[in-house]
């Protein structure tokens, strides 16, 4: 099959996407995959250096790219962002609300405070309200169709210790996604979420945090045997972005986790620390060959 045939199956060539937080990690992988699919790509990025890097990377591929330095937690910056997309492309077909962060807060909930909750709210949920509200009128003016994809986390679907408030705001994305899908379906706009497990990115340096002698356990914990990469989630976003591939999929979440959610969750160790990497050979009831 030729590259042109592959592109026409996806059906996104020439369409316009906006990816928030597209300067690193999953957002950047998504912006680059959209460019590969022939899309015109706008990126909103708070970090000037990352904005410059993704601009260079997209332009090198020949993509018609617009990179706007903006803090998507702020309503006035978001209005400026959507105006810039409108004046450059005159339309918007796909919005990826990718910004999100646990902000390095890892404490028991009783130790967390209101400043942390507010910061986690703004970076995980509030920006989605600002960007989505500003983007929908432009999406509607672009004709029937369109796709909104929100970055959630697998932790919205299971319990996680020490980042309780982060997980709570990510869980709220499920409700936002479902209810908005019900409202905007009448305009042909679909709303879905992608929920990754631990993925190597700018904020999570997953593989290097596991001591080399313990990396063997990754194969035991993840059915697919490894942490995620940005491209893993980007592939799911591309599927949900394409009306041709997922035109009847709305209000749902694609979990991108190497099978981990199906396999299990976090465990407390003897020293009271937490792990999600199995450390004990026997489980007490499964017969083993030598016992």
Ligand X SMILES: NC(=O)c1ccc[n+]([C@@H]2O[C@H](COP(=O)([O-])OP(=O)(O)OC[C@H]3O[C@@H](n4cnc5c(N)ncnc54)[C@H](O)[C@@H]3O)[C@@H](O)[C@H]2O)c1
**Using CB under 6 A as the criterion, which residues of the chain lie in contact with ligand X when the complex forms?**
20-21, 23-27, 44-47, 50, 70-73, 98-101, 123, 127, 151, 153, 196, 198-199, 201-204
The tokens describing 18, both together, are 């906006």
Picking from 19, 7, 258, the residue whose alpha carbon sits closest to that of residue 149 is: 19
Helices (H), 150-269: 164-184, 206-209, 216-221, 230-241, 243-246, 260-263
3-state DSSP call for residue 125?
Answer: helix
Instruction: Quote the least distance from Cβ 87 to ligand X, whole Å.
Output: 20
DSSP category for residue 187? G
Instruction: Quote the least distance from Cβ 73 to ligand X, whole Å.
Output: 5
Of 24 and 95, the one with the shorter C-beta distance to ligand X is: 24
Instruction: Quote the least distance from Cβ 196 to ligand X, whole Å.
Output: 4
Q: Which of 102, 121, 166, 217 is catalytic?
A: 166
Instruction: Quote the least distance from Cβ 34 to ligand X, whole Å.
Output: 15
Active site residue 166: yes
Of 44 and 66, the one with the shorter C-beta distance to ligand X is: 44
**8 Å CB contact between 17 and 39:** yes
Strands, E assignment, the chain: 16-20, 40-45, 65-69, 94-97, 147-151, 190-196, 253-256, 267-268, 274-275
Of 184 and 237, the one with the shorter C-beta distance to ligand X is: 237
Sign of CA dihedral 276, 277, 279, 281: positive
Of 7 and 266, the one with the shorter C-beta distance to ligand X is: 266
Of 7 and 263, the one with the shorter C-beta distance to ligand X is: 263
- Alpha carbon distance 285, 110 (integer Å): 35
Instruction: Quote the least distance from Cβ 116 to ligand X, whole Å.
Output: 15
The tally of CA atoms less than 13 A away on the side-chain side of residue 262 is 8
Picking from 29, 42, 25, 152, the residue whose alpha carbon sits closest to that of residue 89 is: 42
Active site residues: 166
């Amino acid at each position: 099959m030729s590259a042109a045939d592959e592109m026409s199956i996806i059906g996104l060539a020439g369409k316009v996407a906006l990816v928030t937080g597209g300067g690193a990690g999953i957002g950047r992988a998504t912006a680059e995959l959209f460019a590969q699919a022939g899309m015109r790509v706008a990126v909103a990025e708070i970090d000037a250096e990352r904005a410059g890097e993704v601009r260079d990377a997209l332009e090198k591929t020949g993509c018609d790219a617009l990179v706007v330095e903006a803090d998507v937690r702020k309503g006035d910056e978001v209005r400026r962002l959507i105006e810039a997309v409108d004046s450059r492309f005159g339309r918007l077909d796909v919005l990826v609300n990718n910004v999100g962060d646990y902000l390095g807060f890892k404490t028991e909930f009783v130790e967390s405070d209101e400043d942390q909750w507010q910061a986690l709210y703004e970076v995980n949920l509030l920006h989605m309200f600002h960007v989505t509200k500003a983007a929908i009128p432009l999406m509607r003016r672009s004709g029937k169709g369109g796709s909104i994809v929100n970055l959630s986390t697998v932790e919205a679907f299971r319990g996680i210790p020490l980042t309780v408030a982060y997980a709570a705001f990510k869980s709220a994305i499920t409700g936002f996604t479902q209810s908005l899908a019900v409202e905007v379906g009448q305009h042909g706009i679909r709303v879905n979420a992608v929920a990754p497990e631990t993925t190597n990115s700018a904020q999570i340096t997953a593989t290097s945090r596991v001591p080399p002698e313990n990396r063997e356990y990754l194969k035991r914990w993840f059915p697919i045997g490894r942490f995620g990469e940005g491209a893993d989630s980007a592939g799911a976003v591309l599927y949900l972005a394409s009306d041709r591939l997922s035109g009847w999929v709305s209000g749902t979440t694609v979990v991108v986790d190497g099978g981990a959610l199906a396999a299990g969750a976090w465990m407390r160790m003897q020293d009271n620390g937490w792990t999600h990497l199995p450390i004990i050979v026997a489980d007490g009831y499964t017969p083993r060959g030598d016992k």
